[in-house]
Chains A and B, each alone.
Chain A
Amino acid sequence: MLQKNNKVDQKNSKLDKVLNQVLRYVGMVLIVLILFGLILLISGSDPIKSYQDIFSYTLGSRYGFTEVIVSMTPVLLTALAVALPTRVGLINVGGEGQLYMGACFATWGALTFSHLPGWVLLPIMILLGMLGGAVWAFIPGLLKSLGLVNETITTLLLNSVAPMIVAFFVYGYWHSPMDTNKTAMFVPAARLPRFFNSRIDLSFFIALALLILFWLLLKYTRWGMEMKAILGNAQAAKRNGIPINRYWIIIMCAGGAIAGLAGMAQVSGFFGVLMAGFSRGVGFMGFLISWMSFGDPLAIFITSFVISVIMTGGNYLQLTVGLPFAVINILLAFTLFIVLAKPVFLQRKVA
């Protein structure tokens, strides 16, 4: 019943909704640009020139555009790792920790089976990476379904444990003879293949495929329906015979596996080496993106694209107008703040 009503509503207001959505985003981006323009003026650089630099680099040059895609790939995955659990009412703040565990497991695979050819080794590493993330997400999922601890807290706390586990293995066992804080470079077979003569690697396409899969799952499968029911009212869903505990654990693990895959992609595709503390908050960024886009697959794609444009273009500003790095963080912070604050006058009217 409830679902049917929703569907009708959705159809009626679909165009309006999309329009509103687009409008809201553009409005937000504008506010951000104006505020940041002021900061640029205060710090003595020319805002117009700065914006020109950002956009001509990220959208107007081939290299810049591919770099945007490269920096977008991991956050796309970690955002998905958050978005999936939100569909059953779980808040997975643990993307960062799951990413580290995925990277850790995948690195073990890369170092142990380094003699295998790529077509065997890479699938092994992908599976290991997903396993690592899933294991790390299983703990909160289990505790939640046993009714012991809220998953928000456990995932958040496990975030600070995972990097230490990675550090323990790197410093203790895996480090190369010349360094202490990173492993030896991976063999070529353990690197994800790259495309378009750029640093875009296979994980981007995997991320896209997962995003589409996520959308299909929600839209067309029984599981998607049942997840919706759990989200709407877990108790009611339980009385209707939906195994909510099983859902919680499995969905949590699936989310963790996706974040673990992001970790695997980072070490195998991007870095080619495991460094202690390699992730500069990719997991947390995914969390923000997922919440900014309300778990909607298309919005996740767009938001991570916008965030990546800001990050990549912002870093570029350092070189062209000599902005200090901290100012770029202000830009990013503005974006997050404005989007999360949801300015009142941009809010669509809810019937």
Chain B
Amino acid sequence: MKSKIFLILAILITSALLVTACQPAVEEPVVEEPVVEEPVVEEPDVEEPVEEPVVEEPEEEEVVVEEPVEEDEGPCLIIGALHGGPITDAGYNQAMHESVMTIKENIPCVEIIVAENVPEEAGATSTMVNMIQQGAGMIIATAFNHQYPAIELAEQNPDVIFQHAGGWELRDNFGNFFTEPPDTWYMMGVAAGLMTETNKLGFVGAFPLGWTNTFINSFTLGAQSVNESVETIVAFTFDWGDSAKEADATNSLINQGVDVITMHVDSPATVISTAESRGAYSIGFQNLAAQDYAPEYWISGIGHTLGGTLTWLTSNVIDGTWEPIFLRCGIGAGCMAMAPFGPNVPQEVQDQVLEVKDAIVDGELTVFAGPIFDQEGTERVAEGEELPVAMMGSVDWYVQGVIGSPQ
């Protein structure tokens, strides 16, 4: 009978599967020490991480050459990198992925394990545990909501170094890093203020987070510095990656007369391509690759380029000088970069924006210098003072000229 044959076949194959399943003894983690006790003389100045000119190439050869400590062939460090979204999103996740992969280019002996679309909070725990079981000595978690599960594991795995993007917590083996986008938003604001004809700028945000509000304020201040009558209309999608809502928000902004659009969502692709199809200018954020979506109406954009910083951190882990630090670095240190201008941006505009960029890089320009008033006219930053960085993450007000609710 046919079913009998199937039964036998089935039993055979299941047992085969079970046998293959049980054979390899891979379950137990090969707990691999990141070679901590290496007294390499090269000493990067750890105390001033923010201004660190992070592209220190010479370390790489050194690491490769003198690494054969116990194993001959194995990687000098296994890095587990986990991202909250797809690493091909032309946005935040791709920028972070590319930054992580730069480590491999600079320090060829590392091995990198990548996981994308990792769920948030407790959903990320098993991915990190698996990475550690595969011998990862360093975990780079780039999603905001991976912070707490990473800390929990950091406490259980004192030998593993954790680096989290954008958080604020610090532990003995848990540090964080991120870029400093607010200044670069000012620069983009200048470009937008010069390019707009309707004097209406659009900003598509995911959530009214403190940082997003800071970006909006900085963008608007930049635009107002060159064009007094400009205003920014804000629309939130309440999702980091809902393309349908992003397209809707972009369209409704354009319908309100906006002719320059920018965004703070995971992937700028939808907003930019929607703006392009409607003939509105766009300014990118997160990833420099975003310009591919707007061949014609692209103004410029800013992206995270943390490869150098991560390389520096990794080399510290390898030579044992790693310390948990609250690391933030800006465009001056190469942690962010500006995309090329689009074909429709006049030379005068380009020059003016680059001037502002130079001023920012040289530290001559303070974006949030008082007096700054919010939408209701309340003074938020007094004359002669400036908004401290520590406050930027919890800004719940908009400067005058922003249309929208910051909560």
Contacts and interface: CB of A to CB of B under 8 A. Distances in A.
A182 B149 CA distance: 14
B153 to A, nearest CB: 12
Contacts of B24: 52, 56, 60
A63 B125 CA distance: 12
B113 interface: yes
A182 B143 CA distance: 14
Interface in A33-62: 48, 51-52, 55-57, 59-62
Nearest to B209: A180
A67 B145 contact: no
Interface string B4-34: 0011001001100110111110110000000
A23 B21 contact: no
B21 A52 contact: yes
Interface in B107-141: 113-117, 119-123, 125-127, 129-131, 133-134
Q: Nearest 8 CB-CB pairs, A to B?
A: A55-B21, A61-B27, A26-B10, A325-B117, A271-B122, A60-B21, A318-B115, A67-B126
A278 B3 CA distance: 44
A23 B207 contact: no
A100 interface: no
Given A275-B121, A319-B115, A52 B20 contact: yes
Interface string A271-295: 1110111101000000000000000
A56 B21 contact: yes
Contact of A199 (B22, B125, B238): B125
B3 A182 contact: no
A270 B122 contact: yes
Interface string A113-155: 0000000000000000000000000000000000000000000
Contacts of A218: none
A245 interface: no
Contacts of B238: 167, 171, 276
Given A19-B3, A63-B133, A180-B209, A318 B126 contact: no
Contacts of A189: none
Given A180-B207, A319-B131, A23 B239 contact: no
A312 B126 contact: yes
A318 B13 contact: no
A174 interface: no
B22 A56 contact: yes
Contact of B126 (A30, A52, A185, A315): A315
Contacts of A322: 113-114
B17 A51 contact: yes
Contacts of A67: 126
Contacts of A316: 130
B86 A325 contact: yes
Nearest to B7: A23
Nearest to A26: B10
15 contacts: A19-B3, A19-B7, A23-B10, A26-B13, A52-B21, A56-B24, A177-B394, A180-B208, A182-B145, A315-B126, A315-B127, A316-B130, A319-B115, A322-B113, A322-B114
Given A51-B17, A55-B20, A23 B3 contact: yes
B27 A62 contact: yes
Contact of A23 (B6, B17, B18, B168): B6
B148 interface: yes
B104 to A, nearest CB: 13
Given A275-B121, A318-B116, 14 more contacts: A19-B7, A22-B7, A23-B7, A52-B21, A55-B20, A56-B26, A63-B27, A179-B144, A182-B121, A199-B126, A272-B121, A273-B148, A325-B116, A346-B6
A188 interface: no
A62 B123 CA distance: 18
Contacts of B168: 178
A320 interface: yes
Contacts of A60: 21-22, 24, 26-27
Contact of B3 (A20, A57, A178, A318): A20
Contacts of A270: 122-123
Interface residues of B, number: 46
Contacts of B113: 319, 322
A324 interface: yes
A185 B129 contact: no
B20 A320 contact: no
Contacts of B18: 55, 59
Given A56-B24, A60-B21, A271-B122, A27 B145 contact: no
Contacts of A319: 80, 113, 115, 127, 130-131, 134
A180 to B, nearest CB: 5
A222 to B, nearest CB: 37
A60 B21 CA distance: 6
Contact of A27 (B10, B21, B208, B239): B10
Contacts of A62: 27
A275 B13 contact: no
A199 B115 CA distance: 21
A270 B344 CA distance: 51
A26 B7 CA distance: 9
A1 to B, nearest CB: 31
Contacts of B27: 56-57, 60-64
Interface string A178-205: 1111100100000000000001000000
Nearest to A312: B126
Contacts of B122: 199, 270-272
B2 to A, nearest CB: 8
Contacts of A348: 3
Nearest to B127: A315
Contact of B10 (A22, A199, A275, A278): A22
Interface string A60-72: 1111100100100
B127 A51 contact: no
Nearest to A25: B10
Contacts of A22: 7, 10
Residue with the highest number of chain A CB atoms closer than 10 Å, among B20, B114, B125: B20
Contacts of B26: 56-57, 60-61
A55 B120 contact: no
Contacts of B129: 63
A26 B14 contact: yes
A158 to B, nearest CB: 19
A59 B26 CA distance: 12
A45 to B, nearest CB: 14
A93 to B, nearest CB: 21
Contacts of B127: 315, 318-319
B134 A27 contact: no
Given A23-B7, A315-B127, A324-B116, A277 B239 contact: yes
Contacts of B21: 52, 55-56, 59-60
Nearest to B393: A178
A19 B394 CA distance: 62
A60 B6 CA distance: 26
